């Protein structure tokens, strides 16, 4: 029974890609996957930079980021990386966790900034692999300000 269940799951995974069609068409692998990252709760300027305001009196200020993949029917692992963080007890601590998973084609992640980052421009790199093994990459830039 368990062996049949794993077989059905495996077959289902092969048949479902980033759209409802089989990604294998004429011996080539095609998906409707894409990657679009955003910071819905932050303001974006005319140059495409997001702005986050440091909230004084707290140890960190947080914002939610999102990544749309187009994989509505398949859970995708999305990788996140930042070029910014702080050193804590001799270790580098990034302002973003390294991974999240999609739900209905959207992955959510939380960015946390520290007071030491005021004035910095943070680059957040995002990526994932689709069913065909294609890597989708995008990035965003966030400027940390004391007062917007």
Beta carbons of 90 and 112 less than 8 angstroms apart: no
Report residue 17's pLDDT band, with 50, 70 and 90 as the boundaries: low
Report residue 31's pLDDT band, with 50, 70 and 90 as the boundaries: confident
Q: Residue 118 gets which letter from DSSP? A: T
Separation in Å, CA 112 to CA 72, 103, 109:
27, 22, 10
Beta carbons of 143 and 42 less than 8 angstroms apart: no
Beta carbons of 17 and 131 less than 8 angstroms apart: yes
Q: What is the CATH number of domain 33-145?
A: 2.60.40.1930
The confidence score (pLDDT) of residue 64 equals: 97
Q: Where are the domains of the chain?
A: 33-145
Report residue 27's pLDDT band, with 50, 70 and 90 as the boundaries: low
The confidence score (pLDDT) of residue 18 equals: 64
Separation in Å, CA 24 to CA 15, 21, 71, 131:
8, 9, 16, 10
The confidence score (pLDDT) of residue 19 equals: 53
Nearest 5°: the CA angle 127, 133, 138 is 20
Residues 6+ apart with CB under 8 A from 99: 77, 78, 79, 80
The confidence score (pLDDT) of residue 35 equals: 96
Asked if the model's pLDDT at residue 5 lies above 90, the reply is no
Q: Which residue has the higher pLDDT, 49 or 72?
A: 49
């Amino acid at each position: 029974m368990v062996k049949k269940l794993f077989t059905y799951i495996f077959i289902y995974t092969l048949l479902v890609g980033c759209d409802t069609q089989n990604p294998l068409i004429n011996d080539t692998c095609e998906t409707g996957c894409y990657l679009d990252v955003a910071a819905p709760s932050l303001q974006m300027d005319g140059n495409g930079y997001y702005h986050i305001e440091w909230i004084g009196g707290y140890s960190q200020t947080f914002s939610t980021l999102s990544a749309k993949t187009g994989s509505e029917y398949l859970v995708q692992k999305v990788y996140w990386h930042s070029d910014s963080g702080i050193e804590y007890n001799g270790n580098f601590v990034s302002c973003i966790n390294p991974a999240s998973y999609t739900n209905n084609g959207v992955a959510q992640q939380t960015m946390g900034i520290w007071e030491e980052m005021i004035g910095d421009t943070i680059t957040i790199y995002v990526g994932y692999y689709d069913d065909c093994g294609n890597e989708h990459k995008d990035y965003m830039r966030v400027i940390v300000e004391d007062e917007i």
